[in-house]
Amino acid sequence: MKLPVIKYLTQFIEDNDEDFVIETIETLEALTELPSLKDEELDVIGELISNMYGAIEVNKMIKDGTPKKEALNSFMKRVLGSIDT
């Protein structure tokens, strides 16, 4: 996951609508079923999906009253913490 991408997508959700990101996730997930995709392509799609889910999670935290910067930092700490264990 990349914080700048999540930050950008979070802003996109605020400016537009979360539904755009959800529909994009659904489209990308459907694409992963294509048997001719190479592992590298699947990795890129997976990274995009992860970042989009991250942005949705950060957006929920912001809606619950967490300041944007704090929500982003908190989310990334959780992600990094889960990687370390």
Domain assignment present for residue 10? The answer is yes
Q: What is the pLDDT of residues 12-69, one digit of tens each?
A: 999 999 999 999 999 999 999 999 999 999 999 999 999 999 999 999 999 999 999 9
How high is the pLDDT of residue 6? 96
Domain assignment present for residue 70? The answer is yes
CB 54 within 8 Å of CB 71: no
Domain assignment present for residue 35? The answer is yes
Number of domains in the chain: 1
The Cβ-side half-sphere exposure at 33, using a 13 Å CA radius, reads: 4
Could you tell me the residue range of the domain that residue 66 belongs to? 3-78
How high is the pLDDT of residue 80? 80
Domain assignment present for residue 84? The answer is no
Domain assignment present for residue 85? The answer is no
> Mean pLDDT score of the chain, rounded to an integer?
93
Nearest-angstrom CA–CA distance, 51 and 44: 11
With 0.85 as the threshold, say if the pTM is over it: yes
- 85 pLDDT more than 60: no
